[in-house]
Structure 1
Amino acid sequence: MNARICKGAVLTALALAIGAAGGYWFAQAPRHAEPEPAKAEQVPAQEQREVLYWYDPMVPQQKFDQPGKSPFMDMQLVPRYADESGDSAAVSIDPSVTQNLGMRLTSVSRESLASELEAFGSLTFNSRDVALVQARSGGFVERVYRRAPEDLLAAGDPLVDLLVPEWTAVQEEFLALRDLGDTALLAAARQRLRLAGMPQRLIERVERSGKVQPLWTVTSPIAGVLQVLDVREGMTLAAGQSLARINGLSSVWLEVAVPEAQTTGVSLGQKVEARLPAFPGEVLDGKVGALLPQANLDSRTVRLRVELDNTDGRLRPGMSAQVRLTRPSEQSALFVPNEAVIRTGRRALVMLAEAEGRYRPVEIRLGREFADKVEVLQGLEEGQQVVASGQFLLDSEASLRGVQAQALGQPMPMAQPALHESEGRIDAIDEDGLLLTHGPFKTLGMPGMTMTFPLADPALGEGLEVGDRVRFGVRETDDGLLIERLHKLEVQP
């Protein structure tokens, strides 16, 4: 047993000695292996950018030639790249990222305003071609002819038979005076018939027949559609009571709904072409007869009225029509796609594309809209490029970075140090500024720590107390980080 143990110990010691010698030989062997090409290609794009120097954001005036830990603060030095513009009014996005986001650019173009406007409309009754039938005197309804609303009537079609007792008495008096042969008295009696409300045709019938006409047949004065018939047999009527309402069809109105943003340039007498699905291939010509004063609150459109001839009776109210309005040619104007505009409610913005992947929010003033484009009155120039797809992502990024949109009438802002934001707690307030325990500055690559920040304006510190949580923005200056934006955070219950 002891012999076996001794033999095993010897073998183990021998193996360890061989392993140590082999390790020493490998350690001393020269290294001539080159890095694999695949690994060389895996160098991040950021490391391939030219670095001007490294610096500590708290002491930016001190520059270092090599990366490493700051001698002033417990943090790593930050690189300053040659392609950094330092423009706080623009957002820089890597070209590969913009491609992944599906961002699409479009140019600001100068075009002539469309000379034609497409819209939709519908046919309605001509409200000026209306006949109201009333009872001329009090009486009784003896008969109602077989009529119903929406029946088509010809001029002279009977509606109802009325018995008017007052007319019977004056007719008998007229016939008695006629037999006397006194011309003056006969003329006075005829005038009395008219004053009683008898129509001229009924007076002529009495005079021609020599008999009393107890019934008056009320007829339609015009050809058209019977819209209302308010009588029934046996009814008692008062003088002036309405019997029927008839709307003529010799002409109809075409009411066109035009978006309120496109009504500029529309005027009375403007030529209109209408195409109805009921009559394919036919074009009906007309002119704008009225521009109605009230816009539709739901569709935000303004109505135009066009009168169309309908002597053949083919056009029926309720039919739809596709309308083309011919407008006089106007001067050219700048246009961008509607989808490129960010409407905030108070103003309109676009993301202006610049060189080297920079995007700047710019305020613009809009004009008229035409189809999928909108006129730009101020804020852009011809040939500039704006983001047409993905601009809301850029706008959100700009808001997070505190980038302010270029206001109307203002020149392009000069490049200035960027604003970096973080949140923290106030540990002390003194004349030098605020002692803050803050989180990391992501845009600086600076970790969270406790340090003192001077204030760009002493008014920023008014109303603040030790222990308050704040969100603040700092800029890099020659003297370090300077607080230029600060507001107190509400404490969540």
Structure 2
Amino acid sequence: MKKYIVYIAILLVGLLLGYLFFGNTKDVNTHTAESATVHNHKDENQVQMWTCSMHPQIMQPEPGDCPICGMELIPAETDAAGLSVDQFKLSENALALANVQTSVVGDGQVEGGVLKLSGKIEENQEDNSVQSSYFSGRIEKLNINFIGEKVNRGQLLATIYAPELVSAQQELITAASLKESQPKLYQAVRNKLKLWKLSEKQIDDIEHSGKVKENFPVYATVSGTVSEKLVSEGDYVKQGQPLLKIANLNTVWAMFDAYENQISQLKVGQEIKVTTNAYPNKDFDAKISFIEPTLATAKRTVGVRAELNNKDGILKPGMFVEGKISGVSSKQENAMLIPKSAVLWTGVRSVVYVKPDSAEPIFEMREVSLGATTNDSYEIISGLRPGEEIVTNGSFTVDAAAQLQGKTSMMNHTGPLEKESTSGTTETVQMKMDLPEAFQKEFLPIIDSYMDLKDAFVTSEVKAVKPKAETMLKQLKSIETKTLHKMEKGHLFRIKDMLVAITESNNIENQRDHFIILSENITAIANNIKVLPQAVYVVKCPMANSNKGAIWLSHSPEVHNPYYGDAMLSCGSVIDTLK
């Protein structure tokens, strides 16, 4: 009986403890269920989309398999509150891991009356010298082991076995015994050895010893740094052959690129402050010493040179530098430049990522039109405004985030000249331009010349392409452009730039790469000509441009592919007609 009483007591104690510890579970579960109900009710207005991790451009309203690769679709991230359709947000951790960096776009390179130029440090060519061999022979020993080694004037550079000097020494020894009776002969022999850069002491040693030397030293005639090593030990060299190139880096050149619209603000003798990435807090004072007389056609820039003191050796050839010139007027229209690292290429488009709010990690893609290029910058023709903040480092990471969130990105956005029609086919987009009637009439022969150039590409012969490109370029240069806006001028510039590149190239594939960009820009202009004498067909080959697709214009709907010629003559289809 006592045993049962103990069991009952233990049971009662257990029930009491259970109530004390778990008595509120029902309330908690009820509260959690209610919260979940509220949460689910809140999400009812959001449509869950599904995407492919390999093909983020695929967006479907229900789960399933990717129609491209067959992989199972995953839930796409939903929109953050307060963001527009094309905007997306990244976490602070993602920004830090990807090292995403941004910068503010400036209106050209003139800020507060200061003109900024980008450039590089180069060797001072006026102080460069070549160390040559003054006699023929074989290099027995070379004392210079690597490029960058410093040498001093009078330093032993190499030892050379010189057969010619062996006979000349024998002549000296013989003439020395006759110098009393034939002094002129003796002096002539000594002068002959001096022409081989032998010193008076070397000649006296040969004469007094009466012994012929087979190996002769070569001494440095200047001090500096070895910039190029032209021979190796054991090489045979001829008289006057260069052995080493020696650069005196006590002074260096800062070479800058200036655009056409900046040339009028530059002059020789103008003071310029130079800064480098290596020493961002140190300014180097210099003056413009030379402005190149010709324009680089590929970059549309002029070289500007400034000489810098470099006795401490801290400025290294190849360093990127920035020059600032004060007191420059900013009234005229200046080029808007952005770093090359900010631009993503998609074949037919150039895009950047903009940060609308500097305080928030929010981004959106923006398509831009590019103009001229320098070493590390692109000129922006359209698509950005001064003061906007753009991604300059980590652009690919930001684009990947946009793809995974189903936002507009490189992968899921059509080109500037294309859009999807309701029927599922592609047609060109009308890029609005305000073209003067006089310009439209002048541009019609350019379209005809373009057609001739296109036909030349169909033949796949460089000799046929070059004359057509030269003709088109000559016509284009004669067109009046003063009345055009910046965007229209930008398209013309790209056309000219591509034509110049085509005329300078001897490789048909390289020429075709330039023809892709030329066709995009001429199509944009042709789209805005109100009256065309005959229909112009926009044709696209999906396999051209590394399977990214490329367009061209034609007067005939029959496809003759300029990007492949006879290899795939009929590859392509008409995507639009300009009437």
- Shorter-chain TM range is 0.3 to 0.5
Larger radius of gyration: 1
Report the TM-score, using the length of structure 1 for normalisation.
0.42
Task: Name the one with the larger helix percent.
Answer: 2
Task: Name the one with the larger strand percent.
Answer: 1
Higher relative contact order (CA 8 A, sep 6+): 1
